[in-house]
Structure 1
């Protein structure tokens, strides 16, 4: 009996311990549940706060984006201005360096020579055209009239090959003007090659120039020729220059 009693007491004690441990576990679980409940409430509160803030966030973000966009626009404008200033400054330095370079000096001399040559050639062709249209052709027409003031041989002796010289220089100035369109890559060597045959033509003109003036002086002794020549020389386009003056222009070109 004593053994049974002790065994029962031990079982009772064991059960009491189990109950106590269960109570302790229950209390711990209850505490954890309360803590979790408080945490859930806290999270819900934070979530509600975030939701309220989220409703205001789009407007705030738009405002911030506008501010950021305006700031970026200003920054880009300053950067663009600064880059442009640097480019202009660098370009100015490059231009100044080139202007002061030996190559630029040679190009300026070359340009000056070419432009002077073009101007001189245009002026010379204009003078030859006035000689031919203002004197040669009217006198040829007069020589073909019923009562000519001079003969065709006299006209040819006075003007020699001046019309041929005019045609050659018209071709030359036309080619020269066409080449000027491709400036500054200008090639003139082949154009000057066509001037070489002119030397023979100019030699003939120079050789017979004195004879030309003699024939003109003889023709001016004729009253009819002298009157016609005065009318021709009075044309405004000739600017008071005489036929002798125009006949000497090819001589100046050779010299």
Structure 2
């Protein structure tokens, strides 16, 4: 017999207090009891993909924990009340949290404010560690792209510093030449009226000219280097490369999501229905319609993870499996015929609309 999973009580308590203090969503909600007869007010706190609840706001330990990864949260209609309870239920707004885990009952909650209800539904719907991981991966891709730009800018800056040093050497040469001309002029135009004050004034003027010339040369060289790099084939190839990589990653993510919907929302429910006592569709028909869709989904999940991790051999993984697509494409017309035939069955048509 399989043993139950044991959780570290101290760790769970710490996470519960952290959710109570810094959770993305906190507040009082009414929770339906396990026997579906009573509602109990509890204090709830949401932290990432974990929903804790306490007996009250001042409780130091959580009473329970729900893992929300993969759950579905939606507004629920109000139950039909009796005549005496109509007034008390007018200001109650209900929503449910359905779990994908087997044999786990849906969590039914309610609140007295419609805005509060909508905000809870939105917060729980986005409470997914997978979403956080995807956002982190996207940021890492952008970070790596920025690192490449920084490295390129370092190379350009090094070239610019070298050109500035060359410019300073040229300025020093010009400075020495100007000083020589000034000395020659002093010898030619020596007069008693010349004073040290006049010499200082001339030197200041020369320094201003040198400062202006140095700044102008630096600005001109910097502008030339930047314009040359922007127009260079390297910069253009980098822009095209990054655009292709990010476009491929987005397309693959969308395709994996569509395959996930196909398998989890249609293939698996229809497969379960085919195993019922009065099946609206046979296992052979399900296999004919979907064929190897599930295998393709698993294959692309692996390929997508490899693409995100920038594994060079991810295409080598995909190429030997191309025969799967050939079989999938050849089966397309036959699967449409089987699907059209099954739709003539009313029970199957109702099942299809339900999923």
TM-score (normalizing by structure 2) = 0.37
Partner residue in 1 for 2:294: 163
Distance 1:132 1:113 in 2: 28
The 1:213/1:88 distance shift into structure 2, 3 A limit, reads farther
Partner residue in 1 for 2:81: none
Match for residue 329 of structure 2 among 206, 221, 226: 206
Unaligned residue ranges in structure 2 (runs of 5+): 1-216
Q: Tell me if structure 2 keeps the 8 A contact 1:165–1:198.
A: no
Partner residue in 2 for 1:221: 344
Distance 1:196 1:87 in 2: 53
Counterpart check, 1:230 vs 2:353: yes
Mapping of residues 2-41 of structure 1, within 5 Å: none
| Cα offset, 1:98, TM superposition | 2.3
Distance 1:89 1:125 in 2: 51
TM-score (normalizing by structure 1) = 0.51
RMSD of aligned residue pairs (Cα, Å): 2.6
Distance 2:292 2:320 in 1: 14
User: Which structure has the highest helix share of the two?
Assistant: 1
Partner residue in 1 for 2:266: 135
Counterpart check, 1:114 vs 2:245: yes
Match for residue 102 of structure 1 among 206, 210, 233: 233
- Between the two proteins, the alignment pairs up a number of residues equal to 143
Distance 1:203 1:109 in 2: 31
Deviant stretches of 4+, over 2 Å: 86-99
Distance 1:204 1:113 in 2: 29
The 1:144/1:111 distance shift into structure 2, 3 A limit, reads same
User: Which structure has the highest strand share of the two?
Assistant: 2
The 1:97/1:221 distance shift into structure 2, 3 A limit, reads same
Distance 1:114 1:195 in 2: 17
Unaligned residue ranges in structure 1 (runs of 5+): 1-85, 180-186, 233-255
| Cα offset, 1:137, TM superposition | 0.6
The 1:137/1:89 distance shift into structure 2, 3 A limit, reads farther
| Cα offset, 1:112, TM superposition | 1.3
| Cα offset, 1:144, TM superposition | 1.0
The 1:90/1:195 distance shift into structure 2, 3 A limit, reads farther
| Cα offset, 1:194, TM superposition | 1.4
The 1:141/1:100 distance shift into structure 2, 3 A limit, reads same
Larger Rg: 1
